[in-house]
Structure 1
Amino acid sequence: MKRFFALCILLPGLATTTIHQTATAQTVLDNSAQKASPFVKSTLKTLVTRFSNTHPKFRNLTVHTNSDKKQIVCGQVSLSENKSPAEESFMSFGAAEDGEQPVVYEARTIPATLDTREANQWINHGADLEELEELGCVPEGSYRQYGDTLNKVLQDHKINATR
């Protein structure tokens, strides 16, 4: 009886000193990860960890191999809090088996006018799209179209600034 009483007092105190690990679960909305490889699961876990302040939702997962016979995973991720995220909330992502971190590209419309001080920010933003294109996760020519649009906006700003 004394041991039982002592355990009742000690156990709650021990519970507060234990280390709690948070479990990360991947939500794949369209069942496109039914037979996911360990690499795909690892990529999704990395993205869940990167966006730990939200509960990312994934869809359109595809896997193909590159010329080096390494796996490439492509898909879309939404950081929306909604159970059924809006179409425009999804961002393209991709990762190579021999790569470092998954690349996430948020499609944002380039404004009609752009301050030249913001140009580097938009160029760097486009680099993610270029990398996704190299991985085969977005259609070929996507980066070129983005660059052409950005150059046109910058040229228009330059022409208007010289007048």
Structure 2
Amino acid sequence: MVKMIAIFACLLIVALDLTAGILGIKAEAAQNQEKHLRLWLFECKEPSHDAFVLGVAAATLLSIAHVLTNLLGGCNVFTREELSKAPPSKQLSMACLVFTWIILALGLGMLVIGTISNNKSRASCGFTHHHFLSIGGILCFVHAIFSVAYYATSTAILGV
């Protein structure tokens, strides 16, 4: 029964991250369908409401997936002394935890920047913000890999 719950948790985390990634890429596609005028580094474009909504949804799903990963994984944090003497499974778990936080920061940042650039009140000219939504979407896929690796190694440590 415990193994079935673990498999369900992994599938849920992967589904949330994959959905967030797909929504981020679709938001980029919706953004690219709007009219825009580009002159070197500056760009004037109309914001896309669809890209805004998809970007918010992608950022929300990425955040939910990250919270679930940390809650279900136990958020095992070790001191440097414990980590240096720990077996490789604990070290791998800690490395995956650190990578999930780094990827969350980068991916969520990219999604938020791309989403804010599509806010209705931002219909102005400025520097180009190309590919922030799609890069954020791709980072959601990477987050799924490290989240499952963290969950698997942390539950193996706990003996679940």
| TM-score w.r.t. length of structure 1 | 0.32
Greater Cα radius of gyration, structure 1 or 2: 1
Q: Which has the higher contact order (CA 8 A, sep 6+)?
A: 2
More strand per residue? 1
Which is helix-richer, 1 or 2?
Answer: 2
Instruction: Tell me the TM-score normalized by structure 2.
Output: 0.33
